[in-house]
Structure 1
Amino acid sequence: MTDNLAALEDWAGVLLARLSPAERRKLTTRIGRDLRRNQQQRIATQRNPDGTPYAPRKTQALRSKKGRIKRQMFTRLRQAKHLRLRSTADSVAIAFTGRIARIAKVHQQGLRDRPGRGQAEVQYAKRELLGFTNTDLELIRSTLIAYIVGSRSS
């Protein structure tokens, strides 16, 4: 995946150098919005970037409820107010902000954390919330080409 990303960066660098900083920022904002939308949809479908499903939740043995857990994981994390987009003429970044960033980091990397104050530490399964898929790389390519073709015709 890193090779694909590096190849895309090399290919796009030449094209982006021809655009003014204002045009590059407009383009990075458009790409960032589309990428954020893709990340939100992927999180909603509970899939890692490689297409594998997230590790299932642990059963809540302490609760007396029987049956499967019906709530999806990360419903709030995927909201646009928590999944922020930062774009400049040279870069675009999609990241979690505030306290949500710590929760996302624990799940992204599969770390240990306390679910609440005074509770024992729990080892969380690795669930990659953010990451590039081949579809995302193709989206970046097509958006870049469409923007450059559109800007030349006007």
Structure 2
Amino acid sequence: MMDELQALERWAGGLLAQLTPTARRTAMLDVARELRRNQQARIASQRNPDQSAYEPRKARAVKGSKKLREKKGRIKRAAMFAKLRTARFLKIEADATGLAVGFGGRVSRLARVHQYGLTDRVAPHGVEYKYPARALLGFTEADRELIRDRLLLHLTRSESQ
């Protein structure tokens, strides 16, 4: 994947260098916004960048004879990472030299644990659990095409002006 991004950078780098810094920043901001939308949609659909499904949550054990998931109407089965994928947490940065889409602040630790499948505490002072890797951020083939198409759009706009 990194080789593909470096090839894209070599291809677009010379063309983008011909743009003014303001036009480059506008192009980068546009690409970053679209990438964030794609990442949000992919996280909402519970898919890794390779389009495999996220590993489901582990059922929680409770005291007594019934398991928590067996109690009908008590557990809300909502998609994971609902708040994490919002623009409040999934930040974009763009300037004339590049762009970044990622998590910042306190939620970056939580995102990193899930992205790489690290070990973390389930609750403060609770048991440790090795989370399965669920790639929150990553490039799909559609993302690569989106970057190429958006950059071409901005390059053709600047040439026509």
**Separation in structure 2 between the aligned mates of residue 136 and residue 54 of structure 1, nearest angstrom:** 19
Separation in structure 2 between the aligned mates of residue 72 and residue 120 of structure 1, nearest angstrom: 23
Q: Which moved more, 1:113-122 or 1:60-69?
A: 60-69
Instruction: Name the residue aligned to 1:64.
Output: 68
Render the CA deviation track for 1:43-95: whole Å, top value 9, x for unaligned.
00001111111111101222534168611100000000000111111010011
Equivalent position to 2:151, from 140, 144, 150: 144
User: Aligned residue for 1:117?
Assistant: 124
Distance 1:85 1:140 in 2: 15
- Report whether the alignment pairs 1:53 with 2:53: yes
Within 5 Å, give how 1:3-152 maps onto structure 2: 3-62=3-62, 64-66=68-70, 70-152=77-159
SS at structure 1 position matched to 2:106: helix
- 1:124 and 1:79 mapped to 2: Cα distance? 22
Aligned length: 154
Name the aligned partner's letter for residue 98 of structure 2: S
**Preserved contact between residue 59 and residue 68 of structure 2 (Cα < 8 Å):** no
Partner-residue secondary structure (3-state), 1:40: helix
Output the CA distance in 1 between the equivalents of 2:76 and 2:51: 22
Alignment partner of 2:33: what SS?
A: helix
Relative distance call for 1:65 and 1:51 in structure 2 (3 A) is closer
What is the TM-score when the length of structure 1 is the normalising length? 0.95
Note the C-alpha offset of 1:151.
Answer: 1.6
Name the amino acid aligned to 1:4.
E
Determine the C-alpha separation between the residues in 2 that align with 1:27 and 1:65: 47
Aligned partner of 1:2 in structure 2 is 2
**Does the C-alpha gap of structure 1 residues 51 and 65 become closer, same or farther in structure 2, counting only changes over 3 Å?**
closer
The TM-score normalised by the length of structure 2 is 0.91
User: Rg: which structure is higher?
Assistant: 2
Q: How many angstroms apart in 2 are the aligned matches of 1:40 and 1:111?
A: 22
The answer for unaligned runs of 5 or more in structure 1 is: none
